[in-house]
Amino acid sequence: MPRFALKIDYDGGPYQGWQRQAQGQPSVQAAVEEALARLEPGPHVIAAAGRTDAGVHGTGQVATVDLVREWDPFRLSEALNWHLKPQPVAILAAARVADDFHARFSAVERQYLFRLVARRAPVTHDKGRVWQVLNPLDIDAMRAGAAHLIGLHDFTTFRSSICQAKSPVKTIDEITIDEIPYVGGREYQFRLRARSFLHNQVRSIVGTLERVGAGAWAPDRVRDVLEARDRSACGPVCPPQGLYLTGARYPVDPFA
């Protein structure tokens, strides 16, 4: 059976996360699988690079699926987009891949973006797509705090209590924080790169760094809570709507 990779863009707001729900609640995975079933009789089960939580968005999610027909990749993406209407899910690209390519297990890196907006007035156009705080943040302090998290560490402090990963030890390759103008305020963009992440790790990190930027924590406290290996020492877990899975990297880019 020919295997295809799909690059998927979606608004996570209407869904209970990426993964198909046993209770029949809406999920991104179910939306794509149902569109596939309209092209070829199902059922279809797709595998994704990352399982995003409820409310989390994707701009570069990658999934793999085995089909019966040898589809032209462009026609496959066009047909899926037709059947996905009017849901906020789009196939950006499709590619024929080797039988041993797997969206999750072949990935060597995942990339996330978190958008945080500081302004007094409520956000309008980006409602449901950013986390809003009222006051500007100290970007230099947040960068100093983030520096303690780069590299190989035990991230128990930043791990959800229901995380199913076998080990809390992970390597974060990069955390960059940029500040850009936003209508009536400022936007802070946090970009994180790692081979893999723990459940709620990114949201826990950003929530902690926000406390640093707000002046409630000193930057060195990030090192202290990391070394504590204690979930209760973590800063607040920020809400999901500012988080985006922006991409997954593979030894060979299937969409090149």
Residue 255 to residue 25: CA distance in whole angstroms: 31
The angle subtended at Cα 190 by Cα 227 and Cα 6, nearest 5°, is 110
Residue 17 to residue 50: CA distance in whole angstroms: 11
Residue 68 to residue 70: CA distance in whole angstroms: 7
Which residues make Cβ contacts (< 8 Å) with residue 109, sequence separation at least 6?
173, 193, 194, 195, 248, 249
The active-site residue out of 53, 126, 138, 154 is: 53
What is the C-alpha radius of gyration for the chain, rounded to an integer number of angstroms?
19
Residue 99 to residue 80: CA distance in whole angstroms: 21
Q: Where are the beta strands (DSSP E) in 119-220?
A: 131-133, 151-154, 169-182, 185-194
53 as an active site residue: the answer is yes
- At which residue do the structure tokens 């946090």 appear? 190
What is the dihedral angle through the alpha carbons of 169, 172, 178, 182, rounded to the nearest 10 degrees?
Answer: -50
Tokens encoding 101 = 């390519």
Q: Which residues pair with 114 in a beta bridge?
A: 190, 243
How many Cβ atoms are within 10 Å of 168's Cβ, its own excluded?
16
> Which are the catalytic amino acids?
53
